[in-house]
Structure 1
Amino acid sequence: MKNIMIINGPNLNLLGKREPGIYGSLSFTEFLETLKDKYPNIGITHYQSNVEGELINALQEAGFGAYDGIVLNAAAYTHTSVGIGDAVAAIETPVVEVHISNTFSREDFRHQSYVSPNAKGVIVGFGLQSYELAIQSFL
């Protein structure tokens, strides 16, 4: 059985409420249940924080053998956090960077990622389906 950790950054706890035109109307909790139902033979764990250091701690805790893969949506920290980028570089567990929206169709500052250079891959712009595509990449 594969074990996958999904780590979500700031404001993703507001999915379903926040800018539904960009992020949709489904909460992440609701979506997570559909993922678990669709992949019953995969252990899927989820962690969310609005705090940069807590995300780094979660990456470090998940990054050395407990999980087969990490799906990371660092949200706005993707574009600002050297620390999160360094944490991804420092761990052994492969990381797939995901974004719900197409970051390249948005503001210029969202075109920069400190995560991407050390990620196994990057998936952007497929809505919540981006998470499922990332999980499939570990199968």
Structure 2
Amino acid sequence: MAPDQPTEGPSGRWELSATTREGTLDRIMDLTAEMFAAEQLDDSDRMPFELAVAEIGANIIEHAGHGELVTLTLQLQLFPDRLEAWFVDNGNPARVDLRSVELPDALAERGRGLAIALAALDELEYRRRTGTNRWKLVRYRSRPES
């Protein structure tokens, strides 16, 4: 499945369009909180998903523009079996191979965001298409124990 097309219809959808500047990450996190307020989610799903959204959002804000403003769209979707986030931005291509991402040395001050997002998610996809960066984040929801 291509990472730039939503799958089946969600039970809830939230969207944000913004330009990367001070406060953009706060707006991303506010939208995430709005989604979480719509339905009670287990912390084992909510916390990793929230962390991954924050890490990818922060990376777009910091790196995609190389000092220039970038327009981004975030779409959050709440499905019965999963949480999804779709980031689309018009920044520079991300030079990343998600198959080779790993945590940096313990003393490194930077470079943990993608590794953290990968560990927190069940799926993380990146694709460059038609001049835009497209990130798909998926966290499958925990099944209640019977």
Instruction: Normalising by structure 1, report the TM-score.
Output: 0.33
Higher strand share: 2
Instruction: Normalising by structure 2, report the TM-score.
Output: 0.32
Whose relative contact order is higher, 1 or 2, with alpha carbons under 8 Å and at least 6 apart? Answer: 2
